Chains A and B, each alone.
Chain A
Amino acid sequence: MALPPYADPLERIWHRTYQVICALVFIFLIAPILIVIPLSFNVEPYFSFTEKMVRLDPTGYSLRWYDTLLTFGMQAPEVPRDGAWFADMWANSTWVQAAKNSLIIGFWATIFATVLGTVAALGLSRPEMPYRRAIMAILISPMIVPIIIIATGMFFFYSNPCAILGFECGRLTSTYLGVILAHTILGIPFVIITVTATLSGFDQSLIRAAQSLGANPREVFFKVVMPLILPGVISGALFAFVTSFDEVVAVLFIAGPEQQTIPRQMWNGIREQISPAILAVATILVVISIALLTTVELLRRRSDRLRGVTGR
């Protein structure tokens, strides 16, 4: 924002102050995220910068906490790192197991949420859709309802899903399916929001044009609609994935010991034996989120270009 030429000295001072305030806010936003990166290389088990680190002495830094991530939970972490060591790590390392679980659960929750959410968003964006506002409010509500209420509700429901029908039919607690379904619910609002936003600029007459040129409904969807809304669908899917990948409360209530995810392990780590290994995980997650954010930004620009929106 440029200062107008008629500004008086007081306004100039205020303008400088304002810029400083903005800079401080950006530091407040970003510093807490970036500060974990150097701290995770600390050679000492502290959560603060040691003197050696401040002096940029290489002996003050190490990869030991990243090593801990791999070896924690292994049966024989000390043996030379050969094939057997890697097999042990792959099968037993607590954090590797957690990462596998997070990916499995995140993947399926994303698929379910994206497919169901995109189809629903297509319906919601049609001008003929009845009760649009009420249905939209219901579908967005998992984002608004406090997570503890969702998790408690699911805890009771999943421990006997058929209770409402009056008989027992197994349980969904302590199963992968239970956690996946819970995360699907939590991811749906994000898919709905991003896909309907993309569809709001979608020219419905393109569908009629395709139909009049002889395309059947499947061709219309895959050749006309899908390419145009794909950027929105992908960013919705990424949102759903991140939601699942970061979710801990539903996992605390629903998952069993088999379904421990990365956030669940972090939760344990923070509450019980807090060590810089947590910061190493945090650093890895920050790098992942930077990658995801970049993807989404690129997609958004592409989507704007396709829809003919120039600039932002």
Chain B
Amino acid sequence: MADAALLTTSDGRPLAQALVQAQARARRRAFLLVLPLLLFVMFSFILPIGQMLHRSIYHDGFSANAPLTGAWFARNPSGTPPDEAAYAALAADLAAMQAARTAGEAGTRINYVIPETRSLFTRSAREAKDLTPPYEASLLALDPKWADPAVWEAMRAAASAYTFDFYLVSADFQRAADGSIERVDENRQIYIALFVKTFILSAIITVLCLLIAFPVAHLLATLPMAKANLLMILVLLPFWTSLLVRTTSWMAILQGEGVINDLMVWIGVIAEDGRLRMINNQTGTIIVMTHILLPFMILPLYSVMKVIPPSYARAARSLGATSWTTFRRIYLPQTLPGIAAGSLLVFILAVGYYITPALVGGADGQLISNLIDFHMDRSNWSMAAALSAMLLAGVLVLYWLYDRLVGIDRLKLG
């Protein structure tokens, strides 16, 4: 302790203290350099996405337009059958909705959980101001669906602007008559099926990319520098070429009257009327996305393979291993970091792909991103947000895995 006190800087401060201060200053300086960008990204990237995701649990279409019915729900516990007071409140709300032209909004909210109820609201609202007591009888006379306990349960759930209904719908669940949650019929389960399809297609694309990229990356890594550099340009050119250009040229190549079909008809492999359908379906999505994502597989594989010393393989051969054993036991395990990096990157990018499936996917080659766009188009913002949140959660898990296994700072472009 006494010795430490003896060590001082030229202006008489203890050295340890001066060092701590200098380090803190250096840390602050480094952080200040990053701060402007960090703030920019926070405000124009993280915040907008957060705001958008908020819509997945917030929808005031019903709660804002049906205050009286909402008050009745607050007074009566869940499961209470609707009485005359409830119908009176509903009739008053419907009349108010008609005046403010908001019946559609309220109906849309209920429509998410019970299909075909939007028209129930709009139709009833049109007649609402002519309703007379007893309201229960007159509303049921308008439409017997008002007696359906499922509708009342859905309205109770919608009376609060905050809801998990959109996640229920995105996972193919619905509210049953008694308020419990059940799976929708098998033939209406579209969302889970699409998530599964997106994952399967992405997995197929990833595997195809790996199979195609592996030999090429190996070739690039083992060729002499000058030749490898030249061939590398052939890998990087697609990487630098516009995505739309690549998609367009694939359309020219794959379509019914396109280059490949013409060529095969000309050679005589297929008949004039037997032209293959390779576009506007899943095949198109797979072929084009494999081509577009291939550089993202080749580059990480290449950078790992480049540093594998060839002497290991030679040692294995000299010890009597066959070339296949050498590849399987010696070479392949050393390329695993590259395989992990490339596969994760390609899979992450494929899962969220939008443009290519939209242009060449046809009806059955659409991915989850395209469904988000579909809901955005129809102003189903909460549904789009819920699906986005689920997709984003999946992507972030993979991103976290990538950072753990590979490290984000090892990401390289060419």
- Footprint of B on A, CB under 8 Å? 1, 4, 6-7, 11, 14, 18, 21-22, 25-26, 28-30, 32-33, 35-36, 39, 46-49, 116-117, 119-120, 122-124, 126, 128-130, 133, 135-142, 144-150, 152-158, 163-164, 181-182, 184-185, 188, 190, 193-194, 196-197, 239, 242, 245-246, 248-249, 253, 263, 266-267, 270-271, 274, 278-279, 281-282, 285-286, 289-290, 292-293, 296-297, 300, 311-312
Nearest opposing residue in chain B for A119, CB measure: B33
CB–CB A282/B369 < 8 A:
no
Measured CA separation A39–B388 after assembly (Å) = 39
Measured CA separation A116–B236 after assembly (Å) = 26
- Summarize A's interface: helix, strand, loop or mixed: helix
Measured CA separation A148–B375 after assembly (Å) = 12
A-B contact count (CB 8 A): 273
CB–CB B384/A248 < 8 A:
no
Given contacts A285-B242, A312-B229, 15 further A-B contacts (CB under 8 A): A18-B215, A25-B215, A32-B253, A33-B245, A119-B37, A147-B369, A152-B385, A157-B48, A263-B244, A267-B359, A270-B251, A278-B248, A289-B241, A289-B242, A293-B240
Is B363 close to A, CB under 8 A? Answer: no
Measured CA separation A117–B33 after assembly (Å) = 10
Question: What 4 pairs across the A-B complex have the smallest Cβ distances?
Answer: A146-B352, A123-B33, A157-B48, A153-B48
- A1, A39, A49, A148: residue with the most chain B Cβ atoms closer than 10 Å: A148
- B229, B249, B385: residue with the most chain A Cβ atoms closer than 10 Å: B249
Measured CA separation A296–B232 after assembly (Å) = 13
The interface stretch among B82-90, B115-123, B405-413 is B405-413
B365-411 contacts to A (CB < 8 Å): 369, 372-373, 376, 381, 384-385, 388, 391-392, 395, 399, 403, 408-409, 411
CB–CB B323/A11 < 8 A:
yes
CB–CB B37/A193 < 8 A:
no
With known contacts A30-B238, A146-B351, A153-B48, A270–B359 Cβ distance under 8 A: yes
Output the least CB separation between B49 and chain A (Å): 4
The interface stretch among B169-177, B189-197, B217-225, B334-342 is B217-225
A-side contacts of B354, CB under 8 Å: 146-148, 249
CB–CB A1/B222 < 8 A:
yes
Output the least CB separation between B153 and chain A (Å): 30
B-side contacts of A279, CB under 8 Å: 248-249, 252
Nearest opposing residue in chain B for A144, CB measure: B399
Is B246 close to A, CB under 8 A? Answer: yes
A-side contacts of B248, CB under 8 Å: 36, 266, 270, 278-279, 282
Is B27 close to A, CB under 8 A? Answer: yes
A-side contacts of B234, CB under 8 Å: 26, 29-30
CB–CB B238/A39 < 8 A:
no
B-side contacts of A194, CB under 8 Å: 413
- Summarize B's interface: helix, strand, loop or mixed: helix
Is B243 close to A, CB under 8 A? Answer: yes
CB–CB A148/B236 < 8 A:
no
| 19 CB < 8 A contacts A-B | A6-B317, A32-B238, A36-B252, A39-B249, A48-B257, A116-B37, A123-B33, A137-B403, A144-B395, A148-B388, A164-B47, A185-B44, A246-B244, A266-B245, A270-B248, A274-B251, A279-B252, A285-B245, A296-B414
Measured CA separation A58–B36 after assembly (Å) = 58
A-side contacts of B348, CB under 8 Å: 144
CB–CB A136/B257 < 8 A:
no
Nearest opposing residue in chain B for A294, CB measure: B233
How many residues of B are counted as interface, with CB atoms below 8 angstroms from the partner's CB atoms?
A: 94
With known contacts A138-B38, A289-B242, A49–B408 Cβ distance under 8 A: no
Output the least CB separation between B363 and chain A (Å): 15
Measured CA separation A6–B321 after assembly (Å) = 13
B1-47 contacts to A (CB < 8 Å): 23, 26-27, 29-34, 36-38, 40-41, 44-47
CB–CB A32/B291 < 8 A:
yes
Nearest opposing residue in chain B for A142, CB measure: B45
Is B247 close to A, CB under 8 A? Answer: yes
Is B294 close to A, CB under 8 A? Answer: yes
With known contacts A35-B249, A123-B32, A266-B248, A145–B395 Cβ distance under 8 A: yes
With known contacts A133-B403, A279-B252, A312-B225, A148–B369 Cβ distance under 8 A: yes
Measured CA separation A171–B169 after assembly (Å) = 32
A-side contacts of B355, CB under 8 Å: 147, 248-249
Is B237 close to A, CB under 8 A? Answer: yes
Is B255 close to A, CB under 8 A? Answer: yes
CB–CB B246/A32 < 8 A:
yes
CB–CB A181/B44 < 8 A:
yes
With known contacts A147-B354, A248-B244, A35–B49 Cβ distance under 8 A: no
